[in-house]
Structure 1
Amino acid sequence: MAVIVKYVVERNGEEKMTFTSKAEADAYDKMLDMADELFTLLETSKLIEDDAQKEELSLYLAQNKDEVLYALGAKRKPTPKKAVKAVPETDEESDDADAA
Structure 2
Amino acid sequence: MAVITKYVVERSGVEKMTFTSKAEADAYDKMLDTADALQVLLSASNQLTDEAQAEALALYLAQQKEPLLVALGVKKAAKAGKQDSEEQTTAKQDDTSSKGLKAVAAGHAA
Instruction: State if a TM-score over 0.5 links the two structures.
Output: yes
Matched, 1:8 2:26: no
Give 1:27 shift.
0.1
CA offset digits 1:11-57 (Å, max 9, x no partner): 00000000000000000000000000000000110000001100000
Give 1:3 shift.
0.5
Matched, 1:38 2:38: yes
**Equivalent residue runs for 1:41-52 within 5 Å:** 41-52=41-52
**Equivalent residue runs for 1:18-37 within 5 Å:** 18-37=18-37
- Structure 1 residue aligned with 2:59: 59
Give the unaligned 5+ runs of structure 1: 82-100
How many residues align structurally?
A: 82
More helix by share: 2
For the aligned residues, what is the CA RMSD?
A: 1.3
Secondary structure at the aligned position of 1:66 is classed as helix
TM-score, scaled relative to structure 1: 0.79
Q: After the TM superposition, list the runs of 4 or more consecutive aligned residues in structure 1 that deviate by more than 3 angstroms.
A: none
TM-score, scaled relative to structure 2: 0.72
